[in-house]
Chain A
Amino acid sequence: MATKTWQKQSDDIPVCQRSLFYWILRKHRGIQLLLLVIILTSLFFRVFPLEMQRRIINEAIHLRDEQLLFLYCGLYIGAVLLAGITKYLINVIQTVLGQKILMEMRTELYHHILQLPLQFYRKMQPGTVISAMTAELNSIGFFLGGALAIPVTSILSFLVFVGFMFTLSPLLTLLSISIYPLELIVIPLLQKRYNRLNKKRIKTTRAMANVVNEAISGIHEIHANAAYDLEEKRMAGFIDRLYSLLKRLLFVKYGIKFANNLFQSVGPFILFLIGGYLAINGQFTLGALVAFLSAYEKVYDPWKEMLEYYQALQDAQVRYKQIMQIFDVEIEHLILPGGRGIIELQGAIELKNVGFTVESGVKLLSNITMQIRPNEQVALVGFSGSGKSTLALLMAQLYKLSSGSLQLDGYDINTMSKADISRNITMIAQHPFIFTGTIRDNLLYSVRAAADGEQEVPARRRIMMTIRDVGLEEDILRFGLNSVIPYERVAPLKRKFLRMRHIIIHELHEDYTKSVEIYDARKFLHYSTLRDNLIFGDSLRGRYTVESMADDHDIMELLTSTGLENELVRLGLAIARVTIELLGEFGDDEFFFRGNPMESGEFERYNSLVQELGDEAPQKKQDRTMFLKLALRFIPGRHNIVTMDPALESAITEARETFLNDIVKVDLETCCHGIEDFQMEQNLLDLPRFEQERDFIAYCPSEYLYSHTLLDNLLFGALKEELRENQHLIENAMDAFRRERLVDEIIDVGLDFNVGSQGDRLSGGQKQKVAIARAFLKQGRILIMDEATASLDNTSQGKIQQVVDKKFRGKKTIIAVIHRLDLTPSYDRIFVLKAGSIIEQGSYDELMAQKGAFYELAKST
């Protein structure tokens, strides 16, 4: 199990104090050995061709022996091939190894980072952490794989080639490598400079990441204040600095390269001069000279590799240290209790002279002494800034006390593990955090976090009850109604949804007909688009959208043969003309396009098209398509821009019948009948058999319309007037659904609502309710609420207070930081804080009678 390994590792060196090579040497020794073996083999295949070169010239060519030439050439090419293959293997193994080590490094570092105390994150900016965990680690990963193999290979090849050269000519060898030591002096000097710049670059990049991170998090403020210039200026400084740093880094880097190249070309110069002289004088064979030159070239490769390795090592060391340095903070509490089971608390809390001082020396709490009995409900009140939140965080082990003692059921809180705390204590923070994902994910977060299944996933009934308790039902219902439910999700619920539709259409008939124009296959629909009137359904694969209809062969044939194409283009043209005449000067304001099939973004295109046409009718296919689109989007009952010829209505309904009968083969008779037979369950059961193969879903009463929202499906028609309140209808419908126990299905769907990044798609109140529900779902004897209901309206606050008072009474110890004092009477005891100390305590009545600070506070609100 994962947790076991973590425990074992906590015995060895702390993550942040390990050296870079610790990671490399710790594991994967087998692979590294294999790598070494392959490298040695490859070395042989790299030297071997050199020897062949010498023999080809000195023996085969010299003796004019063709047989020998073929043999040597064959061996030569074979060796070259094998050298290539081994090189490929080395690269692959190196990269895989590097990434493996990187993976371990990242996992363990993240494990460490997550546990760092809250105080650490007060100072640490998120951008730094993100930059360190992602890009900075990546660049180390590349180095890791070759960290051992490369130097070994390089040194060995260097020695082998030098040795080979030495056998050919000791003198030449000594001369040609005599320049190398020079490099050993110059290059480290340059490298030192490089390292310094590199450190600065890392710091600048992190600062830049922080600026970006903050800008994105605060994008609301930036837009609201139009603070674009200000933010850009903040960023510009970093961009400039990074540019100048990178420039200087590159100067140094290419300086090193330049030095390298220079030294490299001096070698052959010496060789040609002296080697040539020796060869002319017959002291050296031509073959040997060629081999020597090749060898010299080869010997330079490992040398260069060593230099590069040196640079990479320096670079990686710098980065690595920069990363580990920032996270080198001690973790305050173990995750699991060592050597005992998780403690089950009764809920007694005892504080003795507790003090809390922050690093800067400011004392936030001093001498707090309080005894809270199991199941007692206490309130913490006081001015803002008096330390209430700090005290709550101390009790939840989120802060570590500086002095005094805090005991839970007699256990010292400092000795308890995170598992002990999370099993027993639930905390609702003042500013709760909502994770990206669905509402369901967020509600079950605490429960799922208890990894070993110590807390079972709550039953559906409990989730529903909690949602009602915290007043989230309305919100989640709305999310459910407005969601387009995926096909697979609909299948098991379809019958129930259709039952709901039936209730709305038949049982709430009067309200319904007032606000909704039902989808009736035989009638023209005034409040639906002409497209819906024609197609009267949707394709699951997305055929027959307004955009694609003009390219659809079947549709165009139908429209042309009925003469509708012409009529629709004319209608579209009329819409475009009137719109342009009317809105000519304000084509940029989206407001004026709300009652128009044209969108403000399209205005310019239609404008130029209409100008171009003058009085002519459009002829070009693409122009006609444009106007056809407008007509297809036209809703006669809602778009005031033109009126439609009534004759067109019947032409459209006729075309609809042809389309349904002949093109998509929907039996209109059955479709319409559905309305009456709807209630008979058998009819519904019949459908799924051929459901699989169908692509087209017509607006038939027995069909679920997959591309529409749930609400659209329940209403099964278009709303007649947007401004008429359909709230009434929906409320009545919900009451009816409740009676038949159908509401939970909608809530279930609503729970899958995606809350967006950090709950962006929820209101402040909704976020808080989700956080409260999350805490209520978690079991545990102690519940700490830090102004948990502060951003809710009074009714909701009162409702939640009631749940706490009634449902949790005798079951949980409650510590509630409360701002609204009228919510405090139901608490057993109230503690009043001021400037980090408790100045009063007692029941509501006692404190009021005492006429002290609490009395004053209560009076002033």
Chain B
Amino acid sequence: MNSQNQPDTDTGAHLKEISSFLRHFSVFQETPVEVLKLYAYLSQKVEYSAGETIIQQGRPSDRMYLIMQGKVSICEERNEQHFFLQDLTETELNCFGELALLAKFDWFFSARAITDVTLLSISREAFIKIHERFPEQYPLAVERIVKLRVARFVNQIDYLLDHLPKEAWKECKILTDDTTDTT
């Protein structure tokens, strides 16, 4: 116990720690410190052990997750089968569910813990409350989320196309070609 020194030793240190952790994520790279601290304050730590489902496809969405540690798989469920889409770790593409901050929808994918994982989650409610206080930050936040989403989309499509058998490909015909053919 660090007794009797200055009474305010730890003041704010903890939040600063989470804030600087958040700073690593692309979504928060340009967020001002005071806003970031609020995110840190309102975020919640969750732990899942390997094999557990974090997000169940079809359930209502309400929060996004940031990976602090561990590996998570994103899958698509169809006809009671899980199709792998993407692996996420704490280093690259280290978060998921970001669209839940912007809108209410039912999850269109599932997320599973591959190893034991530690996550930080931010709820849509917190996101909304923060931007009620800092409305000028909202456009930036939305832009960041959209960019993240695009990056994820590109990554997933790359993976799918790489793994799609050649026969399943269908070439995209350019409209103008079509019209010239028929005439």
B residues in contact with A722, CB < 8 Å: 44
Confirm or deny: A852 has a beta carbon within 8 angstroms of a beta carbon on chain B: no
User: With an 8 A cutoff between CB atoms, is B14 at the interface?
Assistant: yes
Q: Which of the segments B5-13, B94-102, B173-181 contacts the partner chain?
A: B5-13
Q: Are A574 and B1 in contact (CB under 8 A)?
A: no
Q: Choose from B8, B11, B44, B52 the contact partner of A721 (Cβ within 8 Å).
A: B44
Q: Which residues of A contact B155 (CB under 8 A)?
A: none
B122 shortest CB reach to chain A, Å: 11
CB-contacts of A690-725 with B (<8 A): 721-724
Q: Mark B21-49, 1 if CB is under 8 A from A, else 0.
A: 00000000000000001101111101101
- Determine the distance from Cα of A642 to Cα of B126 in the docked complex, in whole angstroms: 19
**Shortest beta-carbon distance from B121 to chain A in Å:** 7
Asked if B163 CB lies within 8 Å of chain A CBs, one says no
B1 pairs with A642, CB closer than 8 A: no
| Complex contact A645–B2 (CB within 8 A) | yes
CB under 8 Å from chain B, chain A span 71-95? none
CA distance A615 to B8 in the complex (A): 8
The reply to whether A641 and B41 form a contact with Cβ atoms under 8 Å apart is: yes
Is B170 positioned at the interface, with any CB of A under 8 Å from its CB? no
In the assembly, what is the distance between CA of A827 and CA of B11, in Å?
A: 72
Given A567-B1, A595-B41, A617-B7, A586-B133 contact (CB < 8 Å): yes
User: Can you list, as one digit per residue, whether each of B126-150 has a CB less than 8 Å from chain A (1) or not (0)?
Assistant: 1001000100000000000000000
B18: chain A residues within 8 A (beta carbon): 640
Contact A582 B129 (CB under 8 A): no
Q: Are B8 and A577 in contact (CB under 8 A)?
A: yes
Asked if B1 contacts A643 (CB within 8 A), the reply is no
User: Contacting A563 at CB < 8 Å: which of B3, B9, B63, B125?
Assistant: B3
CB of A640 within 8 A of CB of B46, answer no
Q: Is the CB of B14 within 8 A of A589?
A: no
Closest residue of chain B to A613 (Cβ to Cβ) is: B7
Chain B residues with Cβ below 8 Å from A647 are: 1-2
Given contacts A591-B125, A651-B1, contact A574 B11 (CB under 8 A): yes
Is A514 on the interface with B (CB-CB < 8 A)?
Answer: yes
Min CB gap A574→B, angstroms: 5
Asked if residues A721 and B46 are in contact (CB atoms below 8 Å), the reply is yes
| Interchain CA distance A594-B11 in the complex, whole Å | 20
B107 to chain A minimum Cβ distance, whole angstroms, is 13
Total A-B Cβ pairs within 8 A: 82
- List A542-589 residues whose CB lies under 8 Å from chain B: 563, 566-567, 570, 573-574, 577-578, 581-582, 585-586, 589
Residues of B near A721 (CB, < 8 A) are: 44, 46-47
Give the contacts of A246-301 with B (CB-CB under 8 A). Answer: none
A642 — nearest CB in chain B belongs to which residue? B14
**B15: Cβ under 8 A from any A Cβ:** yes
A592 within 8 A of B: yes
Cα-based distance from A843 to B37 in the complex (angstroms): 69
* Residue on A nearest B6 in the bound complex, by CB: A615
Binary interface encoding of chain A residues 616-650 relative to chain B, with 1 for a CB under 8 A from any of its CBs, else 0: 01000000000000000000001011110101100
B46 near A724: Cβ-Cβ < 8 Å: yes
Describe B's contact surface by its main secondary structure: mixed
- B44 to A723, Cβ gap below 8 A? yes
Which A residues are CB-close (under 8 A) to B42?
592, 595, 640
The smallest C-beta distance from A854 to any residue of chain B, in angstroms, reads 38
Contact A640 B1 (CB under 8 A): no
Determine the chain A residues whose CB is within 8 A of the CB of B38 once the complex forms. Answer: 582
- Specify the chain B residue showing the minimal Cβ separation from A592: B129
By beta carbon, the residue of chain A nearest B59 is A725
A724 to B55, CA, bound (A): 11
Q: How far is the CA of A578 from the CA of B40 in the complex (A)?
A: 12
B23 to chain A, nearest CB (A): 16
A636 to chain B, nearest CB (A): 11
Asked if residues A591 and B11 are in contact (CB atoms below 8 Å), the reply is no
- B3 & A640 in contact (Cβ 8 Å cutoff): no
Within 8 Å CB of A651, what residues of B? Answer: 1
- A645→B44 contact, CB < 8 A: no
Nearest CB in chain B: distance from A688 CB, A: 40
- Which of A514, A570, A581, A641 has most chain B Cβ within 10 Å? A570
List A contacts of B41 (CB < 8 A): 582, 592, 595, 640-641
Given A591-B125, A617-B7, A723-B63, decide whether A578 and B44 contact each other with a Cβ distance below 8 A. Answer: no
Distance between Cα atoms of A213 and B68 in the complex (Å): 57
Select which of A573, A586, A589, A640 is within 8 A of B8 by beta carbon. A573
- Given known A-B contacts A514-B49, A586-B133, A592-B129, A641 and B14 have beta carbons under 8 A apart: yes
Residues of A within 8 A of B129 (CB): 589, 591-592
Closest to B12 in A: A578
Q: Which residues of B contact A574 (CB under 8 A)?
A: 7-11
CB of A567 within 8 A of CB of B3, answer yes
Query: Hey, which chain B residues are within 8 Å of A514, CB to CB?
Result: 49, 52
Minimum C-beta distance from B58 to chain A (A)? 14
Closest to B121 in A: A723
**A578-B11 in contact (CB<8A):** yes
**Alpha-carbon separation in the docked complex, A638 to B11 (Å):** 17
- B7 x A573 contact (CB < 8 A): yes
A contact residues around B9 at 8 Å (CB): 574
Are B10 and A642 in touch, CB under 8 angstroms?
A: yes
What residues of A have a CB within 8 angstroms of the CB of B46 in the complex? Answer: 721, 723-724
Is there contact, CB below 8 Å, between B15 and A645? no
Residue in A closest to B54 when the chains form the complex, CB atoms: A724
Which residue of A is nearest B120, CB measured? Answer: A640
Are B121's CB and A577's CB within 8 A? no
Report A800 CB to chain B, min CB distance, Å: 28
Task: Find chain B residues with CB under 8 A from A586 CB.
Answer: 133
Q: Is the CB of A640 within 8 A of B43?
A: yes
Q: Roughly how many angstroms separate A589 CA and B129 CA in the complex, as a whole number?
A: 9
What residues on B are CB-neighbors of A648 within 8 Å?
Answer: 1
Chain A residues within 8 Å of B133, by CB: 585-586
Closest Cβ–Cβ distance, residue B69 to chain A (whole Å):
16
Cα distance A570–B133 when bound, in Å? 30
Smallest Cβ-Cβ distance to A581: which chain B residue: B12
Chain B residues near A567 (CB-CB < 8 A): 1, 3
**Which residue on chain A has the smallest CB distance to residue B126?**
A591
Residues of A near B40 (CB, < 8 A) are: 640
Q: Which residues of B contact A723 (CB under 8 A)?
A: 44, 46, 63, 121, 123
Q: Smallest CB-CB separation from A569: which chain B residue?
A: B7
Contacts of A641 in B (CB 8 A): 14-15, 41
Residues of chain B within 8 A of A643, CB atoms compared: 10, 13-14
Given the complex, which residues of B lie within 8 Å of A724, measured CB to CB? 46
- Which one of A573, A582, A617 has the highest number of Cβ atoms from chain B below 10 Å of its Cβ? A582
CB proximity of A635 to chain B, nearest CB, Å:
12
Q: Which 5 A-B pairs have the closest CB atoms?
A: A647-B1, A643-B14, A617-B7, A577-B11, A578-B12
Known: A574-B7, A582-B41, A648-B1. 11 other contacts (CB 8 A): A563-B1, A574-B10, A585-B133, A586-B133, A615-B8, A640-B43, A641-B41, A642-B13, A642-B15, A645-B2, A723-B123
Cross-chain pairs A/B with CB under 8 angstroms, 26 sampled: A563-B3, A567-B3, A574-B11, A577-B11, A578-B12, A582-B37, A582-B38, A595-B41, A595-B42, A595-B44, A615-B8, A640-B14, A640-B18, A640-B40, A640-B42, A640-B43, A640-B44, A641-B14, A642-B11, A642-B12, A642-B13, A643-B13, A651-B1, A721-B44, A721-B46, A723-B121
Chain A residues proximal to chain B, CB less than 8 Å: 514, 563, 566-567, 570, 573-574, 577-578, 581-582, 585-586, 589, 591-592, 595, 615, 617, 638, 640-643, 645, 647-648, 651, 721-724
B interface list, Cβ under 8 A from A:
1-4, 7-15, 18, 37-38, 40-44, 46-47, 49, 52, 63, 121, 123, 125-126, 129, 133
